[in-house]
Amino acid sequence: VEFLYCDLASMKSIRQFVRQFRAKNCPLHVLVNNAGVMLVPERKTEDGFEEHFGLNYLGHFLLTNLLLDALKQSGTHSHNARIITVSSATHYVGKLHLNDLQSRCSYSPHGAYAQSKLALVLFTYRLQHLLTANGSHVTANVVDPGVVNTDLYQHVFWVVKVVKWMTAWLFFKTPEEGASTTIYAAVSPELEGVGGCYLYNEERTKSADLAYDEELQRRLWTESCKMVGISDEASRLP
């Protein structure tokens, strides 16, 4: 195991990480997008993005795009490279405000978190469409890990913290259990060459209806490219 530092809340850090990774000239078979914050008070990343959207979504959007060449070069017809993005069941209640992705008009921790998780699902479906259109040996899937007992809940109301402390052993997954579907998506032979899936408890399931809106997927992709400063070559594809 080798560690390379990457702060997903910093576009500069992401680009520096990618340069360091490329310099190693090694293959990239699996990319797991798993960083995140939840229900944080209103604050911004160093690039001026609302933190949920900037870290949970835009950081992964930029990282994935900058690593796509390495993934494409590593994948083969019989052994596709895989991109796994961790979303949440919260995306089912999320709304995408294309005219206010930074939640500047009205900030809600719950709304901002749900929007970032919905954006990850939309991104995954659009990414898989583009990978297929380009004939790439790379697949992209999105995972719902379930309710997992981690430090993500540090910003919830104190009453919720007490209830969590009392019931976590009964209702919450352990971190190991929460990681199982991500690992399944990364290595299972059943998913060889299969992309564009929403996975929960190691099974394909249906995501929110809104996530299948192809026009919304395209618009979010184009806007995201503008926000992180990369070329939107994909806009010319169907």
Catalytic residues: 113
Alpha-carbon gap, residue 66 to 57, rounded angstroms:
14
Per DSSP, the three-state class of 30 is strand
The 30-33 sheet, strands edge to edge? 30-33, 81-86, 138-144, 198-200, 203-205
C-alpha torsion 74→223→10→7, nearest 10: -40
Give 9's DSSP letter. Answer: T
Alpha-carbon gap, residue 145 to 84, rounded angstroms:
12
Quick check: 113 and 120 in contact, CB under 8 A? no
**13, burial (CB in 10 Å: exposed 0-12, middle 13-18, buried 19+):** middle
